[in-house]
Amino acid sequence: MIDFVKFVTEMNRAECAEDAFNYLEKTLSDLGFDRVVYSLITDHPSMQLKRGHGILRNYPDDWMKYYFAKNYFEVDPVIKVIKQTSGPFLWEKLPELKNGLRKDENVLMEEAREAKLLDGIGISLHGARGEIVGMGIASSSGRTDILNPDMISIVYALCSQFHIVYRKMKEKLLPIIHLSQREQEVLTWIAAGKSKSVVADILQISDDSVKTYVNRIFTKLEVNSIQLAVVKAIAMGLITPDLCHKNSSYLETSPN
């Protein structure tokens, strides 16, 4: 069984990302999982890195070349689940999703099995500001204790610890973003589907004031459109989707 305390200690002693990844590889291999890939599913401003599949990996080179040539990143059902959930999941459970797998997704997963990527586990790690990391863990032999829930939890803990160490090595300190109360009100009403003029009426301020607040929001969030501002603000917890919905419902049901 894995000595997790020792694993954490050794991870923290790693001098570079490659050393940490190599130690993760060795530890997972001891559990029967000799294939691992680490991907940035989204851009990571916190580390000043763009999204990229397999930035650290020991998947077969032939498979990775084929995967990129087929543009499978846009088709991969494992990536789809990673984007929409957080935590570990078994690849073999993918067909049990609500809508099942499309034909092209089934083809991809069958080709992965032919490439000896067996007993797959997907790892989804969601961070601040909408940043998402995905990891794929597999076995070339297919002789792991994958149906043991303890095993899945152990693999998830190992991958999470590696990600913590990798992020600390790469991350850049970013300023904490604050929206004023009025800026939050303006953006929340806009997120509820209200035009700038309607927002001005609701808040009893001028149209020019609303435009000024929107421009300040754009500057703080480093965006250039209302849509991006809303998405980013919600992802960062600066405005609340439920409140946006309630505001919209309130106007629809309120008497004139």
List the domains of the chain with CATH numbers.
4-170 (3.30.450.80), 181-249 (1.10.10.10)
Closest CA to 247 of 205, 198, 197: 198
Q: How many Cβ atoms sit within 10 Å of the Cβ of residue 8? A: 15
* Segment holding 122, helix H or strand E: strand 118-126
**pLDDT beyond 70 at 174:** no
Supply 89's token pair.
Answer: 């999941």
Comparing 95 with 97, which gets the higher pLDDT? 95
Kindly tell me if the per-residue pLDDT of 245 is higher than 70: no
* pTM over cut 0.85: no
- The predicted model gives 163-185 an average pLDDT of 86
Q: Report how far Cα 111 is from the mean position of its chain's Cα atoms.
A: 25
Q: What is the pLDDT of residues 21-54, one digit of tens each?
A: 999 999 999 999 999 999 999 999 888 899 999 9
Contacts of 215 (CB under 8 A, 6+ apart): none
With 50 as the cut, is the pLDDT of residue 255 above it? no
